[in-house]
Every structure is written in structure tokens, then in C-alpha cells.
Amino acid sequence: MKTQKQIDIKSYKADGFIEKYQELIRTTVIPYQYNVLCDRADGAEKSHVMQNFINAGKAVRGEDVGDGFYGMVFQDSDAAKWIEAAAYSLNVKPDSQLEKTVDEFIEIIKNAQDTDGYLNTYFTIKDKDKRWTNLLEGHELYCSGHMMEAAVAYYEATGKDVLLNVMLKNAEHIYEHFITNKNEGYPGHPEVELALLKMYRATKNKHCLELAEHFINVRGVDIHFYEKEQKKRDWSVWGNNPVNYEYQQSNAPVRELSDARGHAVRAVYLYTAMADLASRTDDKELYNACVRLWDSITKRQMYITGGIGSTVHGEAFSVDFDLPSDTAYAETCASIGLMFFASRMLENEVRGEYGDVMERAFYNTVLAGMQLDGKRFFYVNPLEIIPGISGVSPTHRHDLTTRPGWYACACCPPNVARTITSIGKYAYGENEETAFCHLFAQGEIAFENGVKFVCETEYPYGFTIKYSIISGGKMAVRMPSWSKVFTLTANGNALEYDVKDGYAYFEVSDGDLIEIKLDDSAKFISASRKIPALSGKVAVTRGPLVYCFEGVDNGGDVISIDLNTNSKIDILDTCDKLNGAVRLKIEAFKVCEADSLYSEITSEIEKFIAIAVPYYTWGNRGENQMRVWMEKE
């Protein structure tokens, strides 16, 4: 039984900060990404996604398409994530031309489905006989999962069920293979589990629930499955070593896991499905495993920006407290997955920490993943960039100084697009009684339980949140842990409320004006001394935003700056070049350059005013130094 659940996508119409981002996705990102999929975007790497589906359709009808596949084994998922984002975007604003484009694309995808329900362009074009023989690397279930998410999103946005029926047929095919015909195995890259649960929610098809449960339950029970699978085949995609148990989350049955390890995106996609299933089936053992994994991530392995998976080696979690700023991996998609996980944890228990982490990941790493103009994307999100070392040194090659365009492995850009366009699902939740506000997302929200209000705020730059109640009832609003002080008023008078687990619970009536004031001060933050890379360092935050220091604001050089943590942090201005982001100014010292590598300490420092910008806006003004964790005097 879910404590509360995500709202329907149609329940929320954004305004303000969120609306601007959704508009950027709608007007820039989605059209650009469609052009990429069709191989007609300037400067983008070849995608071939559309052509793969067209060719797969021909192959299904027996035509010889020869060498007709191009791209990664999971290339299909780019199409799925784009359709999902487009579906949410249609909810943001109806667009008959976009809807027509999606409908046509869906027809092409439908045609690429084999008569038995199988759908995957890589195997359909290249070698039908290799289907289901390489779960470790083949990404068939991963691609199906993303297309299922797209199908559900498009159905919910438009009521059209063509793709939903394609994916139900595909789910039936998978069911037959793994359940009816008892073929062993589980997905190399978790994703289909969380998607099957969405399919179940949308269609109530029991096979979808049963399949999701099956994949979660058998995972890691036979830890040698992938080794046996490898022995049976004479081919490989990348030569993945099947004994990397932690990398592929096959090291133990999921209910026994305690440490988040391995490929970070795979991990959080799996944990998301586990948390979703746990709340749906009242599986306390499963939820307890989720809590342990949550703690492992958020109490021992998460960057202050909500970045996770600190090492480039396997794009993975490292070990506890290994959180280097300069060589960080912290993939955008991993933080998106962390938001998914947090949202499903909230469906088990309404606890402020879940919302806090979701907010941290969204306003920092996820938004940092995209250039402010929506045209370039970070896959990797370091907390320190030093041109000359970052992107160049053998240990820093993955940490780029500016956002590149579309990647060959283009998982992050469409993932950002679908997350921003569907942010309402993460911001708001409900049960029969209560409307939940997990994030402070501007706009109008109409809950199925009857509560309806308009949320007005300058968040994340203003810290007064007003709820104009259209239709009253019970509400629960997260009081962020970063705001130790807050006030709640109703129509100018003190509001009666209870706080439980980080949420304020209260009742509202039609016409009420609820006003919440959160702490608007910027703060100096230190890290646990268990993190060796951050000992003695200090970061600056305001509200949910982590700030950083860029060379362009600080005379080119941020390495030499020591912040004066005894001073007050003031607002400098709102920066037009950063879409109105609030810049902060902080008293600091600049250390004078010594004439040798190592010398006796001196007190040669000069006073300096350091300027900080929100982390998510970094790298928008050319290549320069960037640092989140600063020295202090």
C-alpha cells in the first residue's frame, strides 16, 4: 500500500522557474533532439535512430537491409526517451504538429516489432538468432523498458494507446520467454523493472507486475548466471567481464544488499523499481534493503551537489567517502535516477530526507547537465575544473571544461528533457486524504483527491512560498533540512500545523492563502571529516542551490582564493548572462604566488571579494576554472 503516490502528469501546470525550463525543453531541446534522431542536426554525431527503426521494419518483413544498424546496442532507447519527453511536453502545451510527429514515429516503431512481439532494432537487423543470448550486454530489456515508459507517458498525455499496445505485446513476449518458457536470467542494465511497474499502473496488466517482481526476485540469486551465459555464446558487444558482480548488480539477491556499488545508473534504476515494488506489495524486507541502499548513497557516497557514482571506472560507485571533486564522474543520468529512487522511497514513507535529496540532485547536478540555452550537455559533473589539468591529465580526461554537443552515447540529454518535463510527478504527491508538496514547484496543481491550489514563489531564488487554495483539504509540505527556521501563516495569521519526519501537516480551506517563509540566508557548509578529499574545505549554499566559484567572476583564478568564513555572505546581483541567477559575494583573501613549488608559509595575502554563482550555471561563459569546495582562512 503506497503511503502516497506521484500525481498524474496532467495534474500540474508549471509557472515561473520550472515553466521556463519546460519551455526551453519544449521549444529547443525536443526539436533539436528529434533532428538528431533523424540525422539532420548540424554538428551532432550520427545517430541513425530513426533509420534503425525503419530498417528493422523492413527486416521484419523479410527485406535484406544488410548493414542497416548503426550506433550503440542501446540506440533504440534514445527514441524512447525522446518520445517520453515529447509526451510530457504535450501536457505542458498542446502542439498538434509535435503530436503528429510522434504518431508517425510510433507507426515506424510499431512496424519494427516482430510478429511475436519482439522489439529491438539491433538484434532484428543484425542477427535475429542472437536474441536473448546476451542479457549481460545486449540491452534488449533496457530498450524495452524505456519504450514502455514512453508508451505510458504518451498514453497518459494523449489517451492514444498505439505504442502502449505495442509494448503490452512486447511485455507478453518477454513474459513468455522468461516466465512461461522458464528461460533463466535477469536484465544486464536494470530499467525494465521500473518500466513494467509503470505499465502495470497504467494498464493493470498482471503479467507486467509479475515480470517486474520476477526480475527483481531472481537478480543476484544465481550470481554466476552471466558467466554461464557467456560460455554459451561466441560473441560479445564490448567484452564485459561477467565476474564484475558489483558492476552489474548481480553480487547478491537484492534483499541482502547493504552497499550501493557498481554502475551508478544501473544501481539507482534497480533501487527505484525495488522501492516501487516494496510500496506496492507491502514488502518490508525489500523496503528495508532500499533504506540501507539509500543510506549507503546519501550518507556515505553522495556529493553535495547530489552527484553519485564518483569514479569513471565503470561509471560507478567507489567506496564509502571516496568523493574527489576534480576526478568526479557523477553522471547526470545517475542523479536523475537518484530522483526516481527518492520519489519511490517517498511512496513508502513520507520522510523529508527523501525530498531533500531529490531537490539537491535536481537543482544542482541534473540542471547542470544542460547548458542554459538547452543546446549542449554534460554527461560528467565534476566539482572542480582546472583548465590544463581537467580533460587533459590521464586521471581527469572525462572531466570536460565545457559542455559538448550530442554524444554517441546520448543517454543524458533526453533523460534531462524527460525529467524536467515531468517534474510535477516528483514535486507533488497525494493519497486519498492529503496533498503532498515534496518540491516547491511553481504553478497550478489539481490533485485527484480534490485539493487544488496555485503555488507562487521565486524559488530557488526566493524563499517565500505562497499557496492560494482553490479547493481545500489536507496538505503536507516538506520543510527542507537546510532551513532550520521557517514560518507558516494562513491569511496572515499563524497556521496550526504538525511537523512529522520533515513535513508540516495542516488543513486548508477554499480561498486560504498559505505563506511559508524559509531561511533565505546563504551558508558556509563543511563536509564530514570522513571524506579525505574535503577536509578543511568549505562550500557555499543558499536554499537548495550549491554555489561554485568560476574564474570569469574572480580574476581568472579560484585556486588562490581562501574564503573568510567569519564574514557574512551577501547577494551581489542577478546575472543576466546566467538567466537571472543570483550571484553571491563573500569576503576572501587571495594568496600571492610563491616563486617555487614549495616554500615556507608566509602571510602574503590580499583582501579580495570572491563571487559565487549557482553550480548548475557553471561552464556557460567559456572555459575557466571552477571550484565548489574552497579553502578558508
Told to check if 326 binds a copy of itself by CB under 8 A, we report yes
Residue 321: CB atoms within 10 Å: 16
Tell me if residue 315 is catalytic. yes
**Closest approach of Cβ 555 to a copy of itself, in Å?**
13
**Closest approach of Cβ 82 to a copy of itself, in Å?**
33
Q: Which amino acid is at 31?
A: P
List phi, psi (to 5°) of 502.
85, 5
**Closest approach of Cβ 524 to a copy of itself, in Å?**
5
Rounded to 5°, the CA angle 100-76-180 comes to 110
Active-site residue, from 315, 331, 430, 456: 315
**Closest approach of Cβ 316 to a copy of itself, in Å?**
7
Single residue of 532, 555, 556, 622 touching a copy of itself by CB under 8 A: 532
Told to check if 261 binds a copy of itself by CB under 8 A, we report no
* DSSP, residue by residue, 534-585: GTT-BEEEETTEEEEEEGGGTTT--TTEEE-TTSPPEEEEEEGGGTTEEEEE
Considering CB under 8 A, how many residues would be counted as binding a copy of itself?
Answer: 60
List phi, psi (to 5°) of 167.
-80, -25
- CB-wise, 371 or 390, nearer to a copy of itself? 390
Sheet with 498-500: strands ordered across: 5-6, 428-430, 434-437, 473-478, 503-508, 498-500
List phi, psi (to 5°) of 561.
-95, 130
Told to check if 524 binds a copy of itself by CB under 8 A, we report yes
Told to check if 302 binds a copy of itself by CB under 8 A, we report yes
Told to check if 10 binds a copy of itself by CB under 8 A, we report no
Single residue of 316, 333, 339, 342 touching a copy of itself by CB under 8 A: 316
Rounded Cα distance, 263 and 317, in Å: 7
- Using an 8 Å Cβ cutoff, are 210 and 179 in contact? yes
Q: At a CB cut-off of 8 Å and minimum separation 6, what does 368 contact?
A: 305, 332, 378, 381, 615, 616, 617, 618, 619
**Closest approach of Cβ 607 to a copy of itself, in Å?**
16
Furthest CA-CA distance within the chain = 78
Single residue of 26, 173, 261, 300 touching a copy of itself by CB under 8 A: 300
Stretch that binds a copy of itself, among 269-277, 457-465, 530-538, 606-614 (CB under 8 A): 530-538
Told to check if 596 binds a copy of itself by CB under 8 A, we report yes
Strands (E), 54-190: none
Told to check if 550 binds a copy of itself by CB under 8 A, we report no
Told to check if 244 binds a copy of itself by CB under 8 A, we report no
The grid cell for 401 is 571544461
Single residue of 1, 485, 494, 597 touching a copy of itself by CB under 8 A: 597
Told to check if 607 binds a copy of itself by CB under 8 A, we report no
Told to check if 533 binds a copy of itself by CB under 8 A, we report yes
- Using an 8 Å Cβ cutoff, are 428 and 436 in contact? yes
Strands (E), 100-204: none
Told to check if 526 binds a copy of itself by CB under 8 A, we report yes
Single residue of 92, 264, 304, 508 touching a copy of itself by CB under 8 A: 304
Told to check if 623 binds a copy of itself by CB under 8 A, we report no
What residue has cell string 570572491?
A: 610
Tell me if residue 38 is catalytic. no
What residue has cell string 504535450?
A: 90
Site string for a copy of itself, 366-405 (x = CB under 8 A): ------------------x-x-xx--xxxxx---------
Rounded Cα distance, 274 and 161, in Å: 27
Told to check if 530 binds a copy of itself by CB under 8 A, we report yes
For a copy of itself, the binding residues (CB under 8 A) are 298-300, 302, 304, 311-314, 316, 318-322, 324, 326-327, 384, 386, 388-389, 392-396, 523-533, 535-539, 557, 559-560, 562, 565, 591, 593-594, 596-602, 631-632
Write out the catalytic residue numbers: 315, 411
